[in-house]
Structure 1
Amino acid sequence: MKDNKKYDVITFGRSSIDLYSQNIGSPFEEIKGFDAFVGGSPLNIAVGCARLGLKSALLTGVGRDKVGDFILNFLKKENVETEYVATVDGARSSAVVLGIEPPNRFPLVYYRDNCADSQISIADVFRADISQFRCFELSGTALNMEPSRSAAFLAGEQAYNADVPVVLDLDFRADQWHDLLAYGVTIRSFLPYVKVAIGTEEEILAAVLKDPAMVTIKDQQISAPEIAGDIDEAIQTILNSGVEALVVKRGEKGSSIFLKDGQVIDVPGFPVDVLNVLGAGDAFAAGFIYGYLKGWDWAKCCRMGNACGGFVVTQPGCANFNPHLETIEKFIEEKGGF
């Protein structure tokens, strides 16, 4: 890919302070204390890309508050460009409270009423000038309400017209939508701008959902719903929208790439002991984008994504624990290479 751009990647959407349980394994009701990290899928991806050596920026919003200062301070230390982070008067920076009960229970609570990152505006997008980036990444929750929805569509349009590849993280968070069916309607409307879509099987099913009763959320695991449906049909629906590739994250099984020409590539994951799955998908996206911008083939891009995701599930948080390039290269080498 051409590298005559000012930056490598800009990510768009959520940013938050994440309060992770210090009492790993304890039920949420028994938590005694929390560690303060940062989070939000686009923020995690921007940090992950920066740690791998890409020039990354974040398009989001924070409140004029100390939580916003906390988020900005972290981003600056991580060399993520904050020029396009809007400080929104009258809104609050987001927060998330998370439990850690490995191997398969990770409840979380969002605090996003009047959140600043949903106030990203059309003016903010014009100010960012998407054409100066080699890649534009959008996380699906940015589409859940105005004004960030319109701003996201404008950014997608700008990227498409400037031949900047758009990577969409499907990022389904059921409790962030006024109607579960609205998620699919909105995502499908955005797909014509998208070159690569990334999601779990559940997120892919949510993108074509026809009945809210098909969604089940247990133990307040908002990031890991159970969704009924025909996954093959759902995958084909997304491919029919015109995306070049649909990447399916399969956890410990690795990932699969479905291409518009009908080709399917299965890429194995890395065996690890799981501590916390929250943030692993964002680490995957960062690793994938790194490989994509390096011009790697699909399988190698996903193998890099699998490695980054596999590394982060062994850690107690998200962005704060994304691997640096030398760390993940060693991880890959020790576990069999690409």
Structure 2
Amino acid sequence: MLQDALATGNFLVVGRVGMDFFPDPPGTRTRDATVMRVGMGGSAANTAAGLVKLGCKAALVTAVSDDAVGWYCEGQLDHYGVDRSYVKRVRGEYRTSLAVYETRIEEHQSVIYRNNAADFQMDAADIDAIDFTAYGAVITAGTVFAAEPSRSAAFRAFDKAKEAGLPILFDIDYRPYSWPSAAEAEEVLTRAGAMADVIVGNDEEFGFMAGHIDRGLAKARALAETSAQMVIYKMGPKGAITFADGTETRTGIYPVEAVKPTGAGDSFMAGLLASLSKGRPLKEAVLRGSACASVVVAKPGCSPAMPDTDELEAFLATHPGPTAAQEG
């Protein structure tokens, strides 16, 4: 059962790690910056760091460039307690991803450097070296499917997870800049979604998979009825709809004064899964994931902003919310 697998609190996370730059102090435009702060980023690495901060175990499967930026990422994974036994170094012209983003909401700018991305060099042999029975569940995000050989490696991880009886947890995480075309992304992400046991995405991402945003909710519902055990349809400030066990549960959010839009989805996933691993009811777990997302958007950085258990409990104890669930 899904709950039994999650109760192990031990996750294998497949995806990218990167270096983030953001101007200091918060509110500074990149074009005006004289001081930049640095932190670990990358959706998979953020989720892994968030899980560990919340008392779980996480190992990351990826590739980094064999240079100072890649070594930085390795050091940061160590800092956050993420197992990097399956992080491979690659040489040549491949580079670890770099993100430059502003800690500001108005006219926010994110500039992502993904040419010759090192993480796309993860291959099937890297997956075959892993003992999947050592973990309780496999997590991946959509970006890992955007190019070869990473795409084939990710699907190999899905196959190995199924062979080992592990649930597959999939964050759609559609990033247009990573894909050769929207048509290819729709086809590949739909294939990945059909294999997943838990699917998390926002209204735009489900709409993209369905061919139009107006059909996104129906797509999420259909996945829950046909292949997935749980589907979470996020609607930004309107909250989320969770489809599981034939029911639809609507939840609100915890409003905060956001300083950036980045990192929310990664933190939501970490908070959700950590809460489920502790045996919390599904609705409560979704709300705790929403609280984690609110904590992260209210602070600079992505991995550095992920709350630990004490920070999450303090936020829940002192912050008003959640808001009432709204119609999609």
Letter matched to residue 287 of structure 2? R
Instruction: Report 1:6-21 matches (<5 A).
Output: 8-21=10-23
Q: Which segment drifts farther, 47-56 or 125-134?
A: 125-134
* Contact 2:6-2:276 within 8 A present in 1 as well: no
Which letter does structure 1 place at the counterpart of 2:312?
I
What residue identity is the alignment partner of 2:136? Answer: R
Is residue 2:47 matched to residue 1:62?
no
Identity value in percent: 28
Q: How does 1:32-51 map to 2 (within 5 A)?
A: 32-51=34-53
1:216 aligns with: none
The corresponding residue for 1:239 is 224
* Structure number having the greater helix percentage: 2
Equivalent residues of 2:19, 2:97 under 8 A apart = yes
Task: For residue 230 of structure 1, give the secondary structure of its aligned residue in structure 2.
Answer: helix
After superposition, the Cα gap between the structure-2 partners of 1:126 and 1:234, relative to the gap in structure 1 and judged at 3 Å, is same
Contact map agreement 2:53 2:309 (CA 8 A) in 1: yes
Which of 192, 195, 199 is the aligned partner of 2:194? Answer: 192
Contact 1:22-1:34 within 8 A present in 2 as well:
yes
What corresponds to 1:302 in structure 2?
Answer: 286
Residue of structure 2 equivalent to 1:317: 301
Q: 1:6 to 1:299 in 2, by over 3 A?
A: closer
- Give the aligned partner of residue 248 of structure 2: 264
- The alpha-carbon distance between structure 1 residues 31 and 139, as it changes in their structure 2 partners (threshold 3 A), is same
| 1:284/1:306 contact within 8 Å kept | yes
Question: What SS is found at the alignment partner of 2:88?
Answer: strand
Corresponding residue to 1:292 among 267, 276, 281: 276
**Counterpart-to-counterpart distance in 2, 1:295 and 1:141:** 29
Contact 1:160 1:193 in 2 (8 A): no
Q: Higher mean Cα deviation, 168-177 or 250-259? A: 250-259
* C-alpha contact 1:47 1:80 (8 A) present in aligned 2: yes
Q: Is the 8 A contact 1:183 1:206 kept in 2?
A: no
Q: Secondary structure at the match of 1:316?
A: coil
Unaligned residue ranges in structure 2 (runs of 5+): 323-328
Q: Secondary structure at the match of 1:62?
A: strand
Deviation digits for residues 7-27 of structure 1, max 9, x if unmatched?
700111111101112253344
Matches of 2:9 and 2:278, distance apart in 1: 14
For normalisation by structure 1, the TM-score amounts to: 0.88
When the two structures are superposed, what TM-score results if normalisation uses the length of structure 2? 0.90
Paired residue for 2:55?
Answer: 53
Is contact 1:106-1:278 (8 Å) kept? no
Among residues 277, 281, 295, which one is paired with 2:261 in the alignment? 277
Distance 1:5 1:128 in 2: 21
